[in-house]
Amino acid sequence: MRDLSSDSKLLAINSATVKAWSLEQLIEGCKRAGISAIAPWRDIVQAVGVEKAGKLIRAAGFDVSCLCRGGMFPASDAAGRRAALEDNKRAVDEAAGIGANCLVLIAGGLPKGSKDLGAAHEQVRDGIAALLPYARDAGVPLAIEPLHPMTAADRACVNTMGHANNLCDELGEGLGIALDAYHVWWDPDLAAQIERAGKRIVTYHVCDWLVPTRDLVFDRGMPGDGVIDLKHLRGLVEATGYSGHIDVEIFSTLDWWKRDPDEVLSICLERHRSVV
């Protein structure tokens, strides 16, 4: 395993962790903290425009571990699926414009009024298949992120590393996996599926699972405050040869989003060195 105790170069801050900040503020805040990699969401990139966002990031000398997010493929009709594909193409363009190492894809859940999970799975597969040629031409790897099963109905019907691996097997070059500790830590087959994924893991996100969890989406914990064995999980990921950044991504309306973002970054850096 890599030694993180004195190395901040491997830490990337996901913009969701300091949600109050614009892209400019994120860059400046990370500079103050001695952090040189970010994982922005599309909203803060779009707020300044892709061209300006790319210039700001390059001028700062920052790495972009990933862009969050594309996906959300299922829809109740063909027009909705076409609209999703067009939005994903725009996301690919944005990822290319800011030099992101990959575009994270969240599958999407059941279309409104549907109870057909199998059909949703098919729409996700077909949507990624339709997007892949465009992403390959743009030089942007896609990273399907399995989300916790609690999200299957409304956010993501790809819920395990096994399902993500199956999609990669079927669809081939240009599709990898975004592994988020919060969403997959519970899976009894996780170690085997991480080994199976191998070089397909293209981005790795960390936070912690709190007990009790007061909100299943917006109460993620700072690494070290919950029950996930993050060092063990990182060991499994790095055993595949993963050498990329470790993104801290925390959704927290109840705690961390209420704090001073500079304080949050300071704690992220300390936990990166001592816990992750």
Local confidence band at 275 (pLDDT 50, 70, 90 cut-offs): very high
Per the domain annotation, does 4 fall within a domain?
Answer: no
Q: If 0-12 CB within 10 Å is exposed, 13-18 middle and 19+ buried, where does residue 88 land? A: buried
Q: What is the CATH number of the domain that holds 93?
A: 3.20.20.150
Give the integer Cα–Cα distance in Å for 204 and 246.
5
Does the residue 2 lie in any domain?
Answer: no
Which pLDDT value is given to residue 7? 81
pLDDT in tens, 126-170: 999 999 999 999 999 999 999 999 999 999 999 999 999 999 999
9-66 pLDDT, tens digit each: 999 999 999 999 999 999 999 999 999 999 999 999 999 999 999 999 999 999 999 9
| pLDDT of 5 above 90 | no
Is residue 6's pLDDT more than 90?
no
% the chain with pLDDT above 70: 100
| Segments forming the whole domain that contains residue 164 | 11-274
pLDDT value at 171 more than 90: yes
Q: Is the pLDDT of residue 100 over 90?
A: yes
The pLDDT of residue 43 is 98
Eight-state DSSP code of residue 191: H
Domain presence at residue 171: yes
Q: Which residue has tokens 């990898």?
A: 176
Q: Where are the alpha helices (DSSP H) in 49-197?
A: 50-60, 78-98, 117-138, 161-171, 181-184, 190-197
Buried (b) or exposed (e) across 180-216, using 16+ Cβ within 10 A? bbbbbbebeebeebbebbeebbbbbbbbbbbeeeeee
CA 28 vs CA 37, 59, 62: distances in Å:
12, 11, 11
The answer to the question of residue 6 being in a domain is: no
Backbone CA torsion sign across 162, 93, 199, 180:
negative
Helix (H), strand (E) at residue 39: strand 37-39
In a domain, 1, yes or no: no
pTM of the model: 0.98
Rounded to whole angstroms, the Cα distance separating 177 from 179 reads 6
CA 98 to chain centre: 16
How does residue 91 score in pLDDT terms, banded at 50, 70 and 90? Answer: very high
Range with the poorest average pLDDT among 5-9, 13-17, 72-76, 269-273: 5-9
Q: How far apart are CA 240 and CA 8, in angstroms?
A: 22
Instruction: Please report whether residue 178 resides in a domain.
Output: yes
For residue 208, give the 3-state DSSP assignment. Answer: strand
Q: Give a yes or no: residue 99 inside a domain.
A: yes
- Counting the structural domains of the chain, the total is 1
H-helix or E-strand spanning residue 274? helix 261-274
Output the pLDDT for position 28: 98
